Chains A and B, each alone.
Chain A
């Protein structure tokens, strides 16, 4: 703390610089200028198509084709091609739906909640995270749509007048879900597009070819950077952030109501809404890390997406992962404390009873899917705890591997909640087992193709870093900072 204070003598006030030990790591490395930021981010689009991009794109498009082929097969044959059967009528499709929609939550959290909390580091990652949200929600949306069996009647989900003179039934949480997910998708696209307008103008103004100038110019809507426009723009951005915050918290809450409004042991739980939201943010940050840790290296964006950003994301993952771990403990405690035999049976005998410790202790046979439960606990409770260590948070390979495990764990969480609860309900005569078919597996893999196809197109044609916002958090953009042109002795 011995750093000598620097005094800027002015007419009226003395500005005392904070001690060096309190200075934070700058958000953009090497004091890069606003012009450099434009050039660096635009170079990703303007440069030659990288080889790895082409390879990844071919693989992704092939997998996306698989996705559509499986949908066609399902449509032409019926939902019997999936492993669904009494008593498990919600299998992988709903597991994948909840998993994908959960992944989307990090994008909105970064763009809206971190904006309201004035976390300026969000600017480097919000664009890519929002794009991830949109594509993840697209993947999620496919599953409930094809799950209804008669896809051509999918429009019955919406309040559209039809020839039968009937309306949707709004006392069901499934209808709430339709509104939550479609609103979530629409508002995410609006928010993302609004953030893009100034950056599309950047691309328009530096375009060399007529096609680029027209294409970016059309979508930039004639943005000039006028401060009269910025004034309305910033207000609209703040309002959208304020509206997206309750939105993102409500979406996974409503998804969780699909389960908790029912009576099934394992589903009928009041802890579900906050527990699902925490899990969603946890898995979403896992996916953001999985995508951005390699991308920052491949696209040479290390000075904009810095180690500090990765570290901060790891900390959010740790915090939300720990909330999820707490929720697991709470579920078990309530199952025991409630004294309800069905709840106890679901949690202790159907989920936790492994062949080695818990099963022998309780004198019961191991549960058929005990490994699913314990994979979930390992990935969601143990794995995030590694992020307590700075060595792990700053090692990109470790972060990448752990971030994938996060999403493996979250997929198993949804599997455990949905499928295991359904396999064993109140009456043992009603118990059953579930196994997916090859169509289930290919359909799930296919959505990865869809996701990555869109994501690769995004990084190739749209600025994947919010250029104007990143410029705004540099010291050069601050009119009260010496690098922003503030003079000692001036009135600013």
Chain B
């Protein structure tokens, strides 16, 4: 028999899974997660998650974009290929602003999306949970609390009892 990856408890309403998450958090588990078909308001604090770090990726992307735009235009029009157009200055921050502004947004957006994927360790095309038939309902209308067996506090009977006490009707082990 393959090794167990985690214990999975199913819940039927967002309120039930929110309460369950608070209890699992308070019990001191670390390697666990909640799976929901949509993001539930208040779940981050119920799980004890800190503010997402995606903003930093986007901020760095945006700054890079703006600097790229300004430096690129300065290099191209005032350094490498100087040509007088209607007596305008070779480089002006004003005419260079619109493209730099667009590049700020472009790089900032890539920062947000790629930062999100990096923090989530996606794309990941294989996951033990995705092999579980029951788990397919996590994108439909069910809510799951999953505690990994790798968690230091994990103990099969005790963890199962905790999940049962939280009102889960369906608890099963997930194979590696």
Please give the number of chain A residues whose Cβ is less than 8 angstroms from any Cβ of chain B in the complex: 74
User: Is A431 on the interface with B (CB-CB < 8 A)?
Assistant: no
Q: Who on chain A is nearest to B137 by CB?
A: A205
The minimal Cβ–Cβ distance linking B68 to chain A, given in whole angstroms, is 10
Contact (Cβ within 8 A) B141 A38: yes
Contact (Cβ within 8 A) B112 A236: yes
Contacts of B15 in A (CB 8 A): 479-480, 484-487, 490, 492
User: Is B147 on the interface with A (CB-CB < 8 A)?
Assistant: no
The minimal Cβ–Cβ distance linking B128 to chain A, given in whole angstroms, is 10
- Complex-state Cα separation, A226 to B105, whole angstroms: 28
- Complex-state Cα separation, A236 to B118, whole angstroms: 12
Contact (Cβ within 8 A) B38 A34: yes
Q: Majority SS of interface residues in chain A?
A: helix
Contact (Cβ within 8 A) B125 A218: yes
- Complex-state Cα separation, A169 to B76, whole angstroms: 8
Contacts of A289 in B (CB 8 A): none
Within 8 A of B (CB), among A187-218: 187, 190-191, 193-194, 198, 201-202, 204-206, 217-218
The minimal Cβ–Cβ distance linking A213 to chain B, given in whole angstroms, is 10
User: Is A315 on the interface with B (CB-CB < 8 A)?
Assistant: no
Q: Majority SS of interface residues in chain B?
A: helix
Contact (Cβ within 8 A) B105 A247: yes
Contact (Cβ within 8 A) B113 A240: yes
Interchain CB contact (< 8 A) of A227 among B36, B88, B95, B137: B36
Contact (Cβ within 8 A) B76 A168: yes
Contacts of A217 in B (CB 8 A): 125
- Complex-state Cα separation, A3 to B124, whole angstroms: 52
Within 8 A of A (CB), among B75-122: 76-77, 80-81, 83, 85-86, 88, 92, 95-96, 98-99, 101-103, 105-106, 108-110, 112-113, 115-117, 119-120, 122
Residues of A within 8 A of B (CB): 33-35, 38, 159, 165-173, 175-176, 179-180, 183, 186-187, 190-191, 193-194, 198, 201-202, 204-206, 217-218, 221-236, 239-240, 243-244, 246-247, 250, 254, 257, 468-469, 471-472, 476-480, 484-487, 490-492
What would be 25 A-B contacts, judged by CB atoms less than 8 Å apart?
Answer: A159-B72, A170-B73, A171-B85, A171-B92, A187-B109, A194-B113, A221-B117, A222-B123, A224-B138, A227-B35, A227-B39, A227-B40, A229-B120, A231-B44, A231-B49, A231-B52, A233-B116, A239-B55, A239-B109, A240-B109, A240-B112, A254-B98, A257-B98, A486-B15, A490-B15
